[in-house]
Amino acid sequence: MKIFVFGNEISAVDNAAPSLIPELSKLFPEIQFIHADPTENWWQGEKELVILDTVVEIDKVTAFNSLDAFQKQTMITPHDYDLFMDLQLMMKVGKVHRVKIIGIPIGQSKHLIQQVVDVISKL
């Protein structure tokens, strides 16, 4: 199994997911944790994606089983193109069939490790 991990390691509000990779890799050696960048060619052909990322407006680690839980966006400029828009497009053209997102609250990381472990264990 692969879990794609998003987040900016140098940003305090967006580094929660990448900071968990070393510990999660030790706890789940059978899972490949891939630190990805939504502005690059991160997708590797999987039809069912599992993503670990920071999510706004949540206060605990939350598993989302589809994109329906997120507010749809209207793209105004290419700068508005983000992971959500990328996933919407891949699903629309049939490259991806399912997406599960493990959301981590903004600005939190290490003390949430057990919650993340619990969600991954249920995959």
Domains and CATH numbers, the chain: 2-121 (3.40.50.1450)
| Exposure on the CB side of residue 19, measured as CA atoms within 13 A | 19
pLDDT at 77: 44
**Does 58 score more than 90 pLDDT?**
no
Closest CA to 119 of 65, 43, 45, 57: 65
Average pLDDT over residues 32-61: 86
**119 Cβ contact partners less than 8 Å away, ≥ 6 residues apart:** 61, 63, 102
Q: What is the pLDDT of residue 113?
A: 86
CB distance 48 to 90 below 8 Å: no
Question: What predicted TM-score, i.e. pTM, was given to this entire model?
Answer: 0.83
Select the highest-mean-pLDDT range: 20-34, 65-79, 84-98: 20-34
* pLDDT at residue 35 tops 80: yes
Question: Is 70 exceeded by the pLDDT of residue 109?
Answer: no
- Which range, of 9-13, 52-56, 87-91, 98-102, averages the lowest pLDDT? 9-13
More confidently predicted of 113 and 3 = 3
